[in-house]
Amino acid sequence: MNELSDSVAWPSRDPEWVTKVMLIGLISLVPVAGWLNLFGWMLAALDNLRAGRPQLPPATFAYIGRGANLFVVYFVYGLVLAVAFGIFFGVGIVIVAGTDGEANAVGIPLILMAYALLLLGGLAWYLVTPAVIVATERGGIRGGLNVARVMAIIGSDVDAALQHGLFALVASLIGGLGVIVCLIGEIFTAPYGYAVLAGVVHHYERTAGPSAATAA
């Protein structure tokens, strides 16, 4: 995989990709454990790419432990964003509901700010996702949650971080395509999106690896 754009198509080059993606999608339906396994499966795909094997891992329950660290990191960052949204939204609702119309000039902007924070925070998350995954792979949960380390990895090559972050967003959009068709479709598209993300992170490690390693 020489070009970043190759990360979108590489999973389909595995002759068994349809079966593997569908089965891992079905496994991901298991509450919590399924998502732990999906994260681990994505990292196992990353391991294959690092080893020069552009193949998707078999679809089994064997990846729960592999995905635990990254799952926790994702959860904590998501929780922080949710709490920030909840504070602005909650205060805004209280002001609007509990006071007269003049207070709406404060309450409504707070509600709008909450949604803006959710939107911008979500976009920012995708831009930093490759660096967060790299930091988690190198330093475990503490490494992934070390904002200074993540920012140092990004700062070592900002252009590369932004380019790969945009492709991480593409991976997420691919993963969500199944919802547009029907909810069942996400069983297929979500794992494929995570496989694409593995390709993005692999390319990021190869192109920004030396400088990022120094920063970390």
User: In percent, how much of the chain has pLDDT > 70?
Assistant: 88
Q: Is the pLDDT of residue 50 over 50?
A: yes
One DSSP character per residue, 150-200 reads HHHHHHTSHHHHHHHHHHHHHHHHHHHHHHHH-GGGHHHHHHHHHHHHHHH
Asked whether residue 26 carries a pLDDT value surpassing 70, the answer given is: yes
Q: What does the pLDDT read at residue 210?
A: 45
Give pTM, 2 decimals: 0.87
- Give domain limits for the chain: 6-215
pLDDT at 195: 96
Query: In this predicted structure, which of 71-75, 111-115, 204-208 has the lowest mean pLDDT?
Result: 204-208
What was the pLDDT predicted at 113?
Answer: 92
**Amino acid 181: pLDDT:** 58
Give the per-residue pLDDT at 176.
Answer: 77
